[in-house]
Amino acid sequence: KRIIVLVSGNGSNLQAIINACQNNLINGKIVAVISNKPDVYSLMRAKQANIPSHVINHKEFATREAFDHQLQLQIEQYQPDLIVLAGYMRILTPHFVQHYSGKMLNIHPSLLPKYPGLNTHRRAMEAGDKEHGTTVHFVTDELDGGPIILQAKVPIFDNDEEQDIVERVLAQEHQIYPLVIKWFCDDRLTMINGRAYLDQTMI
Ligand code: GRF
C-alpha cells in the first residue's frame, strides 16, 4: 500500500511509522510526507529516511478551500491508498475529507469522545481524571469524531506535570498507530456507513 503522511510538527509518530515500514511490520511504503509548516522536524525525519517531502504553507493561501485544493493536487501526484494524519494540526474541508473517506486515519491524544480539539492533556488533568490516553480513528467531517479503531489508556498520577502525561501518551501512540496502519495495509480495516470494521467485525 502507498501511504502519505501529513504532519505539522515534531513527527515522533511519523518516525514510529517509518520504523514500522522499515522493519516490515507494515506492508506498505510511505511515498511522501507533506507538511503545512516549513522547518518542522518531521521534514528532517523524512529526509533521513529518503522519503520525498513537500511543504504547502497554509499561510500562502487565502482560504481553507484553496489550501486543501493544492494539498489534494500534491497528494494525487502519488496515487496513495492511505492518508495518515500524524500531528497534522489543520482542520480539513468537508470536500477533502469526503474525497478520502475510508482512506484517512488520525491519531488524537485523548480517550475520545472525551476531549476533542486542543489542550487535551491539560483538560484531563484539570478535570481530575485518573486516566487519559489516545485514539486512532477514521477521519470524517466531525472534528476528532470519526469511528474509533483503537485506543490506549495511560494513568494520570497526582504529582504529574503536563509533560509527563504528554510523554506517556506519545509512548502509547507509537505502539498503536503503526499497528492500525498495519491492519489497514493488510486489508483488515474498513469504514462502511460511518462504522469501523476489523476483519468484518464492527469495532
Ligand atoms: C500527538 O500527540 C498526536 O496525537 C497529536 O499531535 C501529537 C503529535 O506528535 N495529534 P508528533 O508530531 O507525532 O511527535
Which three cell numbers mark 109?
491524544
Pocket test for ligand 1, best of 40, 42, 170 (most atoms within 8 A of CB): 170
Per the structure, the count of domains in the chain is: 1
Residue 108 designated active-site: yes
The predicted structure's pLDDT at residue 69: 98
Considering the domain boundaries, does residue 112 fall inside one?
no
Q: How do beta strands 189-192 and 148-155 pair?
A: unpaired
pLDDT tens-digit map of 154-193? 999 999 999 999 999 999 999 999 999 999 999 999 999 9
Determine which one of 58, 108, 132, 174 is catalytic.
108
The rounded distance, in Å, linking the Cα atoms of 51 and 38 is 16
Ligand 1 binding residues, C-beta < 6 A: 9-14, 86-87, 107-109, 134, 170, 173
**How many whole angstroms from 8 Cα to the centroid of ligand 1?**
9
CA angle 30, 33, 37 (to 5 degrees): 165
Considering the domain boundaries, does residue 116 fall inside one?
no
With a cut of 70, list the residues of the chain below it in pLDDT.
Answer: none
Considering the domain boundaries, does residue 45 fall inside one?
yes
The predicted structure's pLDDT at residue 111: 98
Domain that includes residue 32, residue range: 2-107+133-151+179-202
The predicted structure's pLDDT at residue 86: 98
The domain that holds 49 is classified in CATH as 3.40.50.170
